[in-house]
């Protein structure tokens, strides 16, 4: 396996430079907003430029590695290493001028996530983890919340992009969980939600219909911060609940009669 410190430094540098690209366009008038799946699924020039930059850097530094990017799909390469990139997670926020958006970069080795970096450029928050080495925020160790009572917990969630045409849109879960927690928040970036759980800002998180690029880095950061990430259904792409073990169990019991296996 390649040197982890070198790989982490590389991913960190890519995330920060991509963040600079995003800040250069943020709240500007030249975002070139387009839609993808439907009117709710948007992409901007900053998404595309960020992904081009990151893929270009990986291709130069690690030309044999494969890459999975949200905007451009799979770039085949060495089957052992795969970089998983969400160049701008939270594009709806970004396009509205809202400050919660991130760059998410994960690295998998033989299908196992070994490195994760999530950078929120406007907030200047850099979350990092390497497998087995813990998680940090701006260089300081972070840990998931220690709360065990959902009544004292603030949790975070999101809604699927096909919410306009599919009634399986998370509203039923929200109705079951909202009465038993202190509060529910919706921040619009799965990567940021997971990092917020890792840092203890949120006590738990659930969402479904996610893609690997949304959660690859963030799931590792939660696990390395002492948390649990569990799948809770298998029919809506990636469906996960995250937090400490107690909160995950409490949330999962309301999300599904048959909570899924622990994935990290």
DSSP 134: -
Helix and strand counts by DSSP (H, E) for the chain: 7, 15
Q: Where in the chain is the domain with CATH 3.40.190.80?
A: 150-255
Lowest-confidence pick of 48-52, 226-230, 232-236: 232-236
Nearest to 43 by CA among 101, 112, 3: 101
pTM summary value: 0.94
Nearest to 231 by CA among 255, 195, 202, 203: 255
- Residues 43/34, Cβ–Cβ less than 8 Å: yes
Is residue 259 over pLDDT 50?
Answer: no
- Residues 240/210, Cβ–Cβ less than 8 Å: yes
Count the alpha carbons within 13 Å of 221 in the hemisphere toward its beta carbon: 31
Nearest to 114 by CA among 243, 245, 246, 224: 224
Is residue 256 over pLDDT 70?
Answer: no
Helix runs in the chain, H state only: 4-25, 45-61, 91-96, 171-177, 190-198, 212-224, 245-255
The per-residue pLDDT for 257 is 46
Q: Report the C-alpha gap between 145 and 20 in whole angstroms.
A: 31
**pLDDT (mean) for 99-108:** 98
Summarised one tens digit per residue, pLDDT across range 197-222 is 999 999 999 999 999 999 999 999 99
Is residue 36 over pLDDT 80?
Answer: no
Q: Report the C-alpha gap between 104 and 153 in whole angstroms.
A: 26
The per-residue pLDDT for 261 is 60
- Residues 189/224, Cβ–Cβ less than 8 Å: no
Nearest to 232 by CA among 203, 258, 194, 205: 258
Summarised one tens digit per residue, pLDDT across range 106-154 is 999 999 999 999 999 999 999 999 999 999 999 999 999 999 999 999 9
From residue 236, give the alpha-carbon distance in Å to each of 162, 193, 231.
11, 19, 11
The answer for residues whose C-beta is within 8 angstroms of residue 118's C-beta and 6 or more apart is: 15, 102, 103, 104, 105, 126, 127, 128, 191, 192, 194, 195, 217, 218, 221
Is residue 258 over pLDDT 60?
Answer: no
Q: What is the CATH number of domain 4-141?
A: 3.30.540.10
Q: Report the C-alpha gap between 179 and 193 in whole angstroms.
A: 20
Q: Where in the chain is the domain with CATH 3.30.540.10?
A: 4-141
Which band of pLDDT confidence, cut at 50, 70 and 90, is reported for residue 172? Answer: very high
**How large is the C-alpha radius of gyration of the chain?**
17
Q: Report the C-alpha gap between 208 and 204 in whole angstroms.
A: 14
Q: Report the C-alpha gap between 188 and 89 in whole angstroms.
A: 8
Residues in the chain: 264
The per-residue pLDDT for 76 is 92
What would be the CATH architecture of the domain defined by 150-255? 3-Layer(aba) Sandwich (3.40)
User: Mean pLDDT across the chain, nearest whole number?
Assistant: 93
């Amino acid at each position: 396996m390649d040197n982890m410190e070198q790989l982490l430094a590389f991913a960190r540098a890519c995330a920060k430079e991509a963040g600079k690209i995003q800040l250069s366009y943020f709240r500007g008038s030249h975002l070139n907003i387009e839609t993808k799946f439907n009117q709710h699924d948007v992409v901007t020039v900053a998404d595309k430029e960020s992904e081009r930059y990151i893929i270009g850097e990986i291709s130069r530094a690690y030309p044999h590695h494969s890459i999975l990017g949200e905007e451009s799909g799979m770039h085949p390469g060495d089957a052992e290493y795969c970089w998983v990139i969400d160049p701008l997670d939270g594009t709806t926020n970004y396009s509205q001028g809202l400050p919660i958006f991130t760059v998410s970069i994960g690295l998998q080795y033989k299908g196992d996530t070994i490195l994760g970096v999530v950078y929120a450029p406007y907030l200047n928050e850099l979350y990092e983890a390497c497998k087995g080495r813990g998680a940090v925020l701006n260089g300081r160790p972070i840990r998931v919340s220690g709360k065990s009572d959902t009544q004292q917990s603030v949790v975070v969630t999101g809604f699927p992009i096909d919410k306009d045409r599919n009634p399986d849109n998370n509203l039923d879960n929200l109705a079951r969980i909202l009465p038993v927690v202190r509060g529910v928040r919706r921040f619009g970036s799965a990567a940021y939600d997971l990092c917020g759980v890792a840092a203890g800002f949120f006590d738990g998180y659930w969402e479904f219909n996610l893609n690997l690029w949304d959660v690859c880095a963030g799931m590792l950061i939660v696990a390395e911060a002492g948390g649990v990430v569990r799948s809770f259904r298998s029919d809506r792409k990636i469906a996960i609940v995250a937090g400490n073990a107690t909160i995950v169990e409490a949330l999962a019991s309301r999300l599904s009669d048959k909570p899924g296996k622990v994935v990290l």
